[in-house]
Amino acid sequence: MLIEKIDSILPQTQCGKCGFSGCKPYAQAIAEGLADINQCPPGNEEGIQELANLLGVKPKPLNTTHGLPKPRSVALIIEENCIGCTFCIQVCPVDAIVGAAKRIHTVISTECTGCELCVAPCPVDCIAILPLKKKSDDKGKNSYIISEDTLEYKNKLKKEIANHSRMRYERRLKRLEREKKEKAEKFVTQIKRIKSSNYISKIKSISEHKITQ
């Protein structure tokens, strides 16, 4: 299917810079003629060329109104400043941030796509976006940030990295849908319990009794 072929070319950062909520919606928009092939800064010229080859159209320069290309990066939470608000956790498209309410959060750097979506919601500005370091540049500083060499070794190929990020993104969407369904079912159960206990009729009876007094 064309949408899947387009999606397989996109970098799967799920950053939304293209103007869509993720890479798959952007791929769908391209397939339907609702978006151009040059709206993805992370994909940059290489991605545009691949999309052009797939669709049989001429490549075009990156539309910089959607942003400029940047080096591959990961988010870093400055833990001493973190207040545990969970806002970053809620917006991470690949569940690469772990933590709990009022507890320090941290980024799983091997899973982070560098989408930057976690930066804006942070109320204390404790999130930095750092470019991945080459192994040769690693002098011990920020050693908990994965190096680009290490990331390449772990995932072996660029496409494998994208496929892995896609899998985490889709897994997150399924989790959110499951949690939404469970919440709705819980609400329905609570309503049924209220009705079965004649809670509403009791409240109504009390109100009517007060009026007649």
How many CB atoms are closer than 10 A to CB 37?
24
- Are residues 79 and 151 both part of a single domain? yes
The DSSP secondary structure of 36-84, one letter per residue, reads -TT--TTTHHHHHHHHHHHHT-------GGG------EEEEE-GGG---
Final residue before a domain boundary, out of 66, 97, 121: 66
Tally of domains within the chain: 3
Q: What is the CATH number of the domain that holds 144?
A: 3.30.70.20
Catalogue the long-range contacts made by 197-206 (C-beta closer than 8 Å, 24 or more residues apart).
Answer: none
- Are residues 15 and 88 both part of a single domain? no
- C-alpha 83, offset from chain centre: 21
Final residue before a domain boundary, out of 66, 85, 111: 66
- Are residues 100 and 166 both part of a single domain? no
b/e per residue 103-116 (b: at least 16 CB within 10 A): eebbbbbebbbbbb
Predicted pLDDT of residue 36: 97
Strands (E), the chain: 73-77, 97-98, 106-107, 127-131
Final residue before a domain boundary, out of 66, 91, 113: 66
Tell me if 155 sits within 8 A of 164, measured CB to CB: yes
Predicted pLDDT of residue 50: 96
- Are residues 57 and 114 both part of a single domain? no
Predicted pLDDT of residue 144: 46
- Are residues 7 and 62 both part of a single domain? yes
User: What is the domain range of residue 99?
Assistant: 73-155
Looking at residue 133, the DSSP 8-state letter turns out to be B
Backbone angles phi, psi at 50, to 5 degrees: -65, -40
- The tokens for 117 are 């979506």
How many CB atoms are closer than 10 A to CB 20?
19
- Are residues 148 and 82 both part of a single domain? yes
Q: What is the CATH number of the domain that holds 16?
A: 1.10.15.40
- Are residues 80 and 146 both part of a single domain? yes
Q: What is the pLDDT along the chain (213 residues), one digit of tens a residue?
A: 999 999 999 999 999 999 999 999 999 999 999 999 999 999 999 999 999 999 999 999 999 999 999 998 999 999 999 999 999 999 999 999 999 999 999 999 999 999 999 999 999 999 999 998 765 554 555 544 555 555 555 545 688 889 999 999 999 999 999 999 999 998 888 887 776 666 556 656 656 655 555
Predicted pLDDT of residue 171: 95
- Are residues 147 and 174 both part of a single domain? no
- Are residues 107 and 177 both part of a single domain? no
- Are residues 151 and 192 both part of a single domain? no
Whole-number Å distance between alpha carbons of 9 and 11: 7
